[in-house]
Chains A and B, each alone.
Chain A
């Protein structure tokens, strides 16, 4: 038995060793024949199985070599985005988006970051966190172009734009009509619009209405944020929204190819349950799941755009709004039944099919765009809902149903004709075949091919470029909600578990290769892009760069100086290894101080940080960057300011003193 296992180890090792083919060095040539004896010894010593060894050599990226893919994962309640390399699963950085983040100096000082114009909560305080859910890479012709990343904040109904030249947040927009979203962000095939779908119905315009008027006053919303690629900014003035019934819309996806011009959004409370467990009403979890079907929203956004041009819309809180009535009458909005309280709706690479995962139904239901268009054309309706929205006949729109298992949530695609669906309750990822799509799987269409257990409670999955017109296959990442026993205990708050799955071969062959614990937030969805598509800067293009505007700043501190004008003090402070200039800043108590910092460095990685002790200010100055920090010197005393990044051998000496003289009495 033992010998047998040993043989299997050797065989697997020989196969796995093929992965060592790096640049024809002698060692790599040796490794092609068999693993070196010390590696075998290490594998035996550590009790690694053949699968373990295969996984190790499939994922290890040697020092100085690069990953093949970037994965952008949302950070959930951390309000950030994580950038992870594949296949190594190494965390490369986090991108501060909705949450102040001191390492990046994000959210400190008035001009430093997109949080500068943070939406205020009703009590007038800035909102200092977000719940990031669904990252969306910008697309050209339905393929990732590597220029921008968008992400929604479920908790505040916001959307942010990240520029992938420097991996930093440039803009956030606050939906004026709703406090929350979920179907955000999803982009149309040429990033004309970024779709933000709401989740929990509210009275539009952030107003009050009693819950007893739920059906009359509460609404859902699909917002189409216009994106100006040239400026790298959302153009709120040319954006619009569509009023939806209060059905609790869920995830969304934009059509492409034959389905271009359409957007699909799920819903899970077509019951219009209003809860009230404390009053003896059925709780939401029962009320919203009463019916066997909900409504897939089929939205013709090209038509909606036309209505906006014709001014067939209202304006609410500055947002152009197509009313539910207009949407139903003008052919902007259709429904199709979908089983049951579904979660994800995902468009296949060809754009021909929409896959709806049942969540509370063991099937995925596949709809065809041609079927839908035909049903619309022939008015093949089952009827209309309470709001007058036409409901397409289910059997007319449906192409197939595939039974996969319990709790299907999200679907992604590859280049071999397979679809992958996460099964939350089964804690597994299912691989199944698409029918007549862009790629053709060897097995027969619309059948389950295999399931691979993942650990545990998988939510979203992401395959390499798996929601584009050209998926790459190769890798799938399973974003698991529970890690249970996967890691050493770190107290009762457990990390999320992101697992890399090998999907390179056909058939029932998927294998988990690597576990990445995320102990700083809860990633929901992720997108994986081929690394060479992103052309990011190594240093900022010019000294004095303003990253928020992505151009040279109007104020560049090339020479140290202090300018005083009454109670206003402007400090121009160039920063270079290993000193700030000036090193003494003397002000009077109560004076308003503006620091204009410029990092003069032109060298890769020569980043300086800046903070003033006791003043809650932190900045990160990447090579060439200019940063402005404002504060009122309201506390008399002596405050060392220093460099936050260990920049050089004389980093500790990179320091200065802020001297705040007490206000003289009288």
Chain B
């Protein structure tokens, strides 16, 4: 006997997968991570918006300032990841769509990369922040006053005279939604009580 709930589950999952796909698509156009730094002479602050495939904001000024502490230009970070990101999103959308039409029990595991995607993003971001922050040019002008550091991934921090605040952007939350949908689909299709599929 199937409950009415269980009869409705698959259509609900299908709708969720479609929404997840749309959310992932939309996330491409929104920042995943943002950082704002403020100092007395920058009352409006300087901002960085990290998108999946590019970086926006006061990059020129931040790079200008960073060269004093020996940090590489922001554009040098995660070049490979950024160049692959759109292909990755397309691949993930393909997986999401195929999961709508093909509801095989184990093929659902193809959704795993989608489910872990936001975590991978954070991990990669952290890797680059660490790499940039810890590998400062020892010959830089301010090398004796600004020691290697890791910028904050989330919340507040301090970099030289700047106060820094970092937070995740709408793109990240949209992809997190997609991730949760994928996780739910995996869990329900793998372990849901449906023998007579």
Contacts and interface: CB of A to CB of B under 8 A. Distances in A.
Interface of A: 576-578, 600-603, 605-606, 648-650, 653
A601 B68 contact: no
Given A649-B141, A650-B141, A602 B68 contact: no
A653 B60 CA distance: 21
Contacts of B61: 602-603, 606
10 contacts: A578-B68, A578-B141, A600-B60, A601-B64, A602-B60, A603-B60, A606-B61, A649-B68, A650-B68, A650-B141
Interface string B59-72: 01100100010000
Nearest to A605: B41
B60 to A, nearest CB: 5
Interface SS majority for chain A: loop
Contacts of A649: 68, 141-142
A576 B64 contact: yes
Nearest to B44: A604
Contacts of A576: 64
Contacts of B68: 577-578, 648-650
A305 to B, nearest CB: 49
A650 B61 CA distance: 15
A650 B69 CA distance: 12
Interface of B: 41, 58, 60-61, 64, 68, 141-142
A101 B141 CA distance: 33
Contacts of B142: 649
A577 B141 contact: no
Contacts of A603: 58, 60-61, 64
A601 B62 CA distance: 11
A387 B61 CA distance: 68
Contacts of A601: 64
Nearest to A603: B61
B72 to A, nearest CB: 16
**Of listed B41, B60, B64, B141, residue having the most chain A CB within 10 A:** B64
A181 B169 CA distance: 63
A3 B64 CA distance: 62
**Of listed A601, A603, A606, A653, residue having the most chain B CB within 10 A:** A603
Given A603-B58, A603-B61, A648-B68, 15 more contacts: A576-B64, A577-B68, A578-B141, A600-B60, A601-B64, A602-B60, A602-B61, A605-B41, A606-B61, A649-B68, A649-B141, A649-B142, A650-B68, A650-B141, A653-B141
Nearest to B41: A605
Contacts of A602: 60-61
B68 to A, nearest CB: 7
Contacts of B141: 578, 649-650, 653
Contacts of A606: 61
A556 to B, nearest CB: 15
Contacts of B58: 603
A650 B70 CA distance: 14
Nearest to B67: A577
Contacts of A578: 68, 141
Nearest to B141: A650
A60 B61 CA distance: 34
B145 to A, nearest CB: 10
Contacts of B60: 600, 602-603
Nearest to A64: B43
Nearest to B61: A603
A576 B68 CA distance: 12
Nearest to B145: A649
A602 B61 CA distance: 7
Nearest to A600: B60
Nearest to B43: A64
A576 B61 CA distance: 10
Nearest to A650: B141
A87 B64 CA distance: 38
Contacts of A650: 68, 141
Nearest to A579: B67
A649 B161 CA distance: 13
B187 to A, nearest CB: 49
A606 B65 CA distance: 12
Contacts of B64: 576-577, 601, 603
A578 B140 CA distance: 12
B14 to A, nearest CB: 48
A653 to B, nearest CB: 8
A653 B142 CA distance: 13
A303 B175 CA distance: 72
A653 B67 CA distance: 14
A601 B60 CA distance: 8
B18 to A, nearest CB: 42
A500 B154 CA distance: 52
A663 B61 CA distance: 43
A653 B68 CA distance: 12
